[in-house]
């Protein structure tokens, strides 16, 4: 009986761990996509590169070597 309870707890914890890692992976890919688009790069391509090139390491490399944000000029109206 004790072995089955220990096995159930172990499988449950492993499931939570896998779910947490997959959630972090999906969240980071969505963030990379949006960040790349904001910086003028194709988000889908950067997300695929981050996914397939050793995910946690490539995410750190993107954060370190990402280009600057694009600056957009807003029209200003003169105040009287």
Task: Give residue-wise pLDDT tens across range 43-64.
Answer: 899 899 888 888 888 888 878 8
Q: Taking a C-beta distance cutoff of 8 angstroms, is the pair 29, 47 a contact?
A: yes
Per-residue pLDDT, averaged over 59-80, amounts to 73
In a domain, 70, yes or no: no
What distance lies between CA 65 and its chain's CA centroid?
15
In a domain, 79, yes or no: no
Per the structure, the count of domains in the chain is: 1
In a domain, 39, yes or no: yes
In a domain, 49, yes or no: yes
In a domain, 7, yes or no: no
pLDDT tens digit string along 1-36?
678 888 888 889 999 999 999 999 999 999 999 988
Q: Show the domain range for 45.
A: 22-65
């Amino acid at each position: 009986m004790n072995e089955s309870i220990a096995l159930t707890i172990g499988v449950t914890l492993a499931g939570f761990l896998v779910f947490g890692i997959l959630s972090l992976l999906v969240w980071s890919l969505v963030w990379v996509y949006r960040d790349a688009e904001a910086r003028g790069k194709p988000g889908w391509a950067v997300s695929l590169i981050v996914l397939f090139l050793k995910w946690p390491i490539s995410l750190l490399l993107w954060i370190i070597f990402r280009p600057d944000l694009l600056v957009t000029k807003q029209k200003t109206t003169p105040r009287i």
